[in-house]
Amino acid sequence: MTKDGAFEIRVRGRVQGVGFRPAVWRHAQALALDGDVLNDSDGVLVRVAGAADRAAALVDALRRDLPPLAEIQSIETRDCTAILPSGFRIVESQGGAANTQVSPDARLCAACETEIADPANRRFGYAFTNCTHCGPRLSIVASIPYDRATTTMAAFPMCADCRTEYGDPANRRFHAEPIACPACGPRLVLHTADGAAMDGDPIMGAARLLTDGAILAVKGLGGYQLACDAANPDAVTRLRQAKKREGKPFALMLRDLDAVRHICELGDDEARLLNSAAAPIVLLRARAGAKLAPQVAPGLDNLGVMLPTTPLHALLLAELDTPLVMTSGNLTGEPQITQDTEAMEKLPAVASHILSHDRAIANRVDDSVVRVMAGVPRVIRRARGYAPAPIRLPAGFEVAPEILALGGELKSTFCLVKDGQATLSQHQGDLEQAAAFDEFRRNIDLYRILFDSAPSLVAVDVHPDYLSSKHGRAMALPLLEIQHHHAHIASCLAENGWPLDGAEVLGIALDGLGLGADGTIWGGEFLLADYRGFMRLAHFKPVAMPGGAAAIREPWRNLHAHLAAAKVPMDGFSALRGKPLETIAAMMERGINAPLASSCGRLFDAVAAALELCVDAQAYEGDAAARLETLAGAAEGGDGYDFAVSNRLIDPAPMWTQLRADRDAGMDYAVIATRFHTGLARALTDMTRKLSGFDTVALSGGCFQNRLLFEQTLRRLEGAGFTVLTHARVPANDGGLALGQAAIAAARTIKGDRTCV
Ligand SMILES: [Zn+2]
Ligand SMILES: [Zn+2]
């Protein structure tokens, strides 16, 4: 015992399973401190003997030199009365109390990358190398507490060498639960399509096959993938045909940043993102003349690019001179495959060979997608590397009950709230797919175990037909129904730390469709909103969606409806040639299967159809809008087209007249596309200036993933003196809905309901 007493340091945040205790131990050794460190249900607790400056020195050292995957939320130091023996110890967790958090999967770290490339290292060429700074987490965990026994590494008893590393606080692999080496860990195997294992080195064999133009299935971190040589038009075309995937761009994997620079323009922010522990797919502008098959991303100038995420991928890419297409391993309309038996059964329809291994995937975790817009990385699909990292809710939310929010229908996620913290699930996919919906339900159960959650309230979208809403209603819990666009805005508020009692903001929510508070379809909304409620101040002029759901798929229908609404002649628009226009006109006239929608997404579809970019069918949600953005590119468009902004309505009619005139005059379509984007951003700003009751604007909804629209709107609104809140960590699209629903449900429980109009 020392005569100076002792101090207790409480650390909260992402501090378990990320090498935090050994970091404390190392710093304590260096500072010659006596004391101990342990994990408990609140995070990490450190006890240090001596005067206050001893504890302060340790806190300083920790803040300066944090393990790469750790994130400190708070550190509190206070006196304690403990009597501490000399030396510094890592104390084992007290039974069941620890490890309340599961971390996201993390990309191969630099130290491990060096080891697998070093012939003298015992992990040379080993595809499952990892340490506390990197490797699988969410993708292998089946229960809590997070230790080897609850992961799919339980099947691999550690060898003596690994056990020594695992037990040594000075080692980078101290308590690295998935620790493995060639002697004890998982093994790669290269199969032919009929399941026979091939002789020779699996990586070399796989690389040879890819070079020869084969399509290869690869068992990746969170699911099977399909790979082929991205410079080989024949291979990429076969992959497209086999996956029945017509237009949606394929993601690429490249060996390093230099390889990325050869095919894309790469900013510093983007390079950092590619290299980060999350290592998402980053959307980059393709360089002209890049050596790639044109079938990789037809009609788009954006490429989705990632670096090798696991040692397996790094080893494979090291043997290849070419970028790989790396897309999810599934058949059309199904989620990415994770199970070996299913892979062996289905993937031979696409791939000639399968590079697999014997570590099971416990949870499907898709690749995340991020785009840098207005200088900030913005997550478009939040999965590998980001989920399930918690999102701290703003001050005031700590007293909320435990809540489960179920999100939307497409790009689905769900969200758990507990102790003022929101845990947003990884991307679950489109629930209309039966397999995705099954997994969605399974994952809710899993997250409830992982995060020790017992919700007393469930929040769903007001849309009665969303499968997530039906699922929520079937649960034996009190239910809150949340309007779609209000949830979008609340999601933006929550991720920006907007206070529970914060003033109302103007939420501009632009997307495809969501059910409105008045029972009609919304999608271009100006809501005066806080967490508890909203008032619909203005919106886009409702226009018919002839054919209902068909109008979501077929852009020409929206062109017809918009031209009709704007009273602009339809002759000469080739997109409408040969279409059953009279039937459509009759449907709209009589209001049969032609619901009105104030949707900004459908407006994008209509303009894309007018410019013949995407006429008969969208290959995927947002296809038409993405092509329109690409076409606009860097063309000059002046002030853009005029929209009528009055009476709390944005009416695109003048835009259609001008667009038609430009078109008739033979104007370059790129200029027309630019004028549309610019005019729309101007209209949003003009409407915002006409409205009152706020000085902060929140932008949300999938349309704001369009860089041109987003950056122009942001610049104009800020230029007009507004503070603008935007999405970054949480998708602006429906992938962020669950967070907003959760925040609204929490706020209403804490502060009481407020009427929504
Ligand atoms: Zn590592
Ligand atoms: Zn080993």
Distance 379 CA to ligand 2 centre (A): 36
Distance 135 CA to ligand 2 centre (A): 15
Distance 458 CA to ligand 2 centre (A): 45
Shortest-distance ligand to the CA of residue 160: 2
Give me the chain's average pLDDT, please. 94
Q: Which residues of 243-254 are buried (b: 16+ CB within 10 A; e: fewer)?
A: beeebbbbbbbb
pLDDT at 384 over 50: yes
- The pLDDT value recorded for residue 295 is 92
Neighbouring residues of the ion ligand 2, judged by CB less than 5 Å: 159, 162, 181, 183-184
| Angstrom distance (rounded) from CA 557 to CA 548 | 10
Distance 70 CA to ligand 2 centre (A): 25
Of 12-26, 252-266, 475-489, 529-543, the range with the lowest mean pLDDT is 12-26
Shortest-distance ligand to the CA of residue 172: 1
- Average pLDDT rounded to a whole number, residues 675-687: 98
My answer on whether omega of the bond before 145 falls inside 30° of 0, hence cis, is yes
- The pLDDT value recorded for residue 587 is 93
Distance 433 CA to ligand 2 centre (A): 40
pLDDT tens, residue by residue, 609-637:
999 999 999 988 888 999 999 999 878 88
- The pLDDT value recorded for residue 1 is 41
Asked if 383 contacts 411 with a C-beta cutoff of 8 angstroms, the reply is no
Shortest-distance ligand to the CA of residue 123: 2
Distance 159 CA to ligand 2 centre (A): 4
Asked if 227 contacts 209 with a C-beta cutoff of 8 angstroms, the reply is no
β-pairing verdict for 302-306 and 251-253: parallel
pLDDT at 356 over 80: yes
Shortest-distance ligand to the CA of residue 179: 2
- pTM of full prediction above 0.85: yes
Asked if 20 contacts 54 with a C-beta cutoff of 8 angstroms, the reply is no
pLDDT at 264 over 60: yes
- The pLDDT value recorded for residue 753 is 75
| Angstrom distance (rounded) from CA 116 to CA 128 | 10
Distance 215 CA to ligand 2 centre (A): 32
- The pLDDT value recorded for residue 300 is 79
Of 329-333, 451-455, 538-542, 737-741, the range with the lowest mean pLDDT is 329-333
First to last CA, the chain: 66
pLDDT tier, 534 (very low <50, low <70, confident <90, very high otherwise): very high
Angle subtended at Cα 202 by Cα 196 and Cα 204, rounded to the nearest 5 degrees: 130
Distance 172 CA to ligand 1 centre (A): 8
Distance 18 CA to ligand 2 centre (A): 20
